[in-house]
Structure 1
Amino acid sequence: MTDPAGQPTVLFVDDDTDIQSAARLLLTRRGFRVLAAHDAAEALTRVAADAIDLVLLDLNYAPGATTGAEGLALLRDLHALRPALPVIVVTGHSGVAIAVAAMREGATDFVMKPWNNERLVTLLHDTLDRLRREAGPAEADSETGEPVLIAVSGPIRTAVALADRIAPTRAHMLLSGSPGSGKTLLARRIHARSGDTAPPVMLDAEGLSTLPPGRGTWIIRGIESLPPPLQRTLADRLDGTAPPRILALSSLGVEELAARLPPRLWLPLEAVRVTLPPLASRQDDIPALATHFLHYFAIRHGLAEPALDTASLDALRLRPWPQNIRELRAAMERMVVLGDAAAPLPGDSTHTQDAPTLAQSEQALIEAALRRHGFNVSHAARDLGLTRPALYRRMARYGL
């Protein structure tokens, strides 16, 4: 997963600009492409948007911080985003004890500040060489990670904290929330923090004709659309001695969903229920999400990143966002592509004369995603945050 010039890409996360400069000078001379991030949010955006081969991770970013807690939390988020991404911890103030804790959390190795240049370069090459030997064919398609789960406001932080607490267990979970609120992303985060090294089985209940064999973790989107025969089959599996772990996703309210599923299936699924609030009720998340998506798409498309002023952010906070994060994501991509933070947003009634319609904007985004993924519908659907059937319906609507 190197850049076109054949250079492996290293992301160095450290708040000290002098150390960043020293690392960039050293590693660039030794044949690496070096990207910088100065805090957790910037690091996650970089990993989501760019083809990163390895992360060098300092553990403290806030002034005066020495506990390493920030870095350990970021390490867990990086592994939720890219489970196979190698992370080498760089530590000074926190010492060996916190570096060992980072190894328990999944860090590949650690180096101490001030590092020995030759040892650091050798460690990077050895780590990348080992990963190339061990990588299977399934990892060839993992150049970029899933979109980042950003939790700033109280309601979403509460939901994520509950999910994180239950993640290491084998408990089934029901993730509910309106379309585009981040249910699939949260399910992937739960699996990444579960300790299960096998990839989750992604299932779209709509149109499903059979259940897969085996145990593992199943993420079932639109659980209410599971055909009645499969509802009974799944209930039987959950009653067995070695059931799969089910992370069920639904946009329905609790009462409506309970009416759609038999009690034998509903009761085990709703034992642990996490509800994601709509974006309109999470106004504190909107600036962070907007900034993230602008940075993400600027990197992805190789374009300048528009700046959002206070008035623009206030306008974003006031929008209803009926399609939630998915809609905000599309609006920010459009701003990047048009190169203007003041560009009209899809559905903005103040720019109706010349602005593309919402349908035209959606069609353009779908076409761009399909081209980006070589018209692989599964990958394009995942990129857009849609199920495959939902993307097929939109493709048919626009004649794609």
Structure 2
Amino acid sequence: MNKKRTIIVVDDNKGVLTAVQMLLKSHFEQVVTLSSPTTLLASLREVNPSIVLLDMNFTAGINTGNEGLFWLHEIKKQHPTLPVVLFTAYADIELAVRGIKEGAADFVVKPWDNQKLIETLDTAILPQKNIKKRKQSIEQPASSMYWGSSHAMENLRLLVEKVAATDANILITGENGTGKEMLAREIHRLSKRNKEALVAVDMGAITESLFESELFGHTKGSFTDAHADRQGKFETANHSTLFLDEIGNLPFHLQAKLLTALQRRSIIQVGSNEPIPIDIRLVSATNRNLNEMVRKEEFREDLLYRLNTIHIEIPPLRERKEDIIPLTELFIDRFCKQYDKGNITLSSAAKERIIKHPWYGNIRELEHAIEKAVIISDTPTIPAELFTLPLKTTMPEEAASTLEEMEMKMIQKAIEGCNGNLSAVAAQLGITRQTLYNKMKKFGL
């Protein structure tokens, strides 16, 4: 660390201040310690620090972290680019994530590891371009995630980079087509478990009769056609990440079995009585409102708490319009190479039409529209006429008031458009036939 830098440390425990000052004096030119945040803003103006290490609790008997968040906001009002690392004696990931969402660079839990504290401060101070270079130098699988340039996605990216390194369970929510599985794979790529392959399970595609066998495995002879022992998805994902997609489609009576496995950190194969320890990082995803399902007693509240240590909501594409054209150009480049079409660009009118479209099917709908346009186009510039899209910029009244209603209407429309050909419907919606069957059964179609 460059020693020609200043740090302000704010903590009401004088013993902590003394220990931190002794540790950091060889890494900073000046270490300013404050036992109360009341003089913090004045100190910021006086010493112009490189970073602030801010305790989250100052009033005896009140340990909610609200004081630290309050002073974090005050710092950011006057010094929006100043990195702030939160200091807390309570390993509350949810509170730390809230602080990161609201502008903190990182957090450190007391009692701290000296080297870890120094590395955290060092990383927070580094210019962003240097951080990116350092991250790129770390050997890990290449990312296929497109973050875009919107403010919403930038905040989401920063949150993901913080929580991916932990083993906290993550629940990803968002509309159909927003890229929940891709985000799950990005979280795995950035995790400590990325040397092992992510194991993905489409919960909407598993039949109830095979649920336990698919997830927990079975022994030879445990049921008809069980000709050999077989590992389940939990055991396959041992020491890796298990991604449970469409978790909201799991029937209520099977949710208890999943909860038991997560609580005990072990599974029992069908036909066996021997528990098998499992070490997994769980990431789940759904487009359904699980809190509403809990209210309707369709989803177990205790299971939701287990899944939802960290909640990540992916915004719909219509709420980040600045990402639409860059995404479109990425898809054009990909499909031009795939179909050997040479270089193709969008006309100005086509760009305008694409931006105005609400994209209720999100990135998946955009991808399919671009693929079709590239295939059909006979000119180096794609005209607007190749995008037969409605020009409405607001959600129509008949559209779903809930995500489930929207999904049902989308499936109904696809079935009508494909004249009842369910294979074509599944392909159009980008889901498996089994998932389509399950959804049709759920919606009574």
TM range (shorter): 0.5 to 0.7
**Residue deviations 1:17-61 (CA, integer Å, cap 9, x gap):** xxxxxxxxxxxxxxxxxxxxxxxxxxxxxxxxxxxxxxxxxxxxx
Matched, 1:289 2:331: no
> 1:294, 1:332 within 8 Å by CA — same for their partners in 2?
yes
- Give the match for residue 304 of structure 2: 266
CA distance in 1, matches of 2:321, 2:435: 28
Q: 1:245 aligns with which of 281, 300, 318?
A: 281
| 229 and 200 in structure 1: CA distance in 2 versus 1, 3 angstrom threshold | farther
**Shift in Å at residue 249 of structure 1?**
0.5
> 1:150, 1:289 within 8 Å by CA — same for their partners in 2?
no
> Which residues of 2 match residues 1-400 of structure 1 at below 5 A?
69-73=131-135, 75=136, 102=137, 105-106=138-139, 148-196=145-193, 197-208=195-206, 209-210=211-212, 211=215, 212=232, 213-214=234-235, 215=238, 216-241=240-265, 242=278, 244-259=280-295, 260-339=298-377, 341-342=382-383, 343-348=385-390, 385-387=430-432, 389-390=434-435
Partner AA of 1:204 in structure 2? D
CA distance in 2, matches of 1:311, 1:305: 18
Structure 2: tracts of 5 or more residues without a match: 1-126, 216-231, 266-277, 393-412, 440-445
**Residue deviations 1:138-179 (CA, integer Å, cap 9, x gap):** xxxxxxx98542322111221222122111111100000000
> 1:305, 1:336 within 8 Å by CA — same for their partners in 2?
no
**Shift in Å at residue 303 of structure 1?**
0.9
Partner AA of 1:232 in structure 2? A
Structure 1: tracts of 5 or more residues without a match: 1-64, 76-101, 109-144, 351-357, 371-379, 395-400
| 287 and 72 in structure 1: CA distance in 2 versus 1, 3 angstrom threshold | farther
Partner AA of 2:252 in structure 1? P
**Shift in Å at residue 311 of structure 1?**
3.3
TM-score, normalization by structure 2: 0.48
**Residue deviations 1:69-103 (CA, integer Å, cap 9, x gap):** 55555x4xxxxxxxxxxxxxxxxxxxxxxxxxx2x
CA distance in 2, matches of 1:150, 1:66: 16
Q: Secondary structure at the match of 1:284?
A: helix
307-316 vs 165-174, which moves further: 307-316
Q: Secondary structure at the match of 1:273?
A: strand
- Give the match for residue 26 of structure 1: none
> 1:304, 1:336 within 8 Å by CA — same for their partners in 2?
no
| 292 and 305 in structure 1: CA distance in 2 versus 1, 3 angstrom threshold | same
CA distance in 1, matches of 2:146, 2:131: 19
What is the number of residues matched between the two proteins? Answer: 244
CA distance in 2, matches of 1:200, 1:279: 26
| 384 and 299 in structure 1: CA distance in 2 versus 1, 3 angstrom threshold | farther
CA distance in 2, matches of 1:299, 1:250: 32
CA distance in 2, matches of 1:107, 1:268: 29
CA distance in 2, matches of 1:295, 1:325: 16
- Give the match for residue 36 of structure 1: none
CA distance in 2, matches of 1:255, 1:66: 37
CA distance in 1, matches of 2:166, 2:147: 23
> 2:143, 2:189 within 8 Å by CA — same for their partners in 1?
no
| 67 and 154 in structure 1: CA distance in 2 versus 1, 3 angstrom threshold | closer
**Shift in Å at residue 305 of structure 1?**
3.4
| 66 and 276 in structure 1: CA distance in 2 versus 1, 3 angstrom threshold | closer
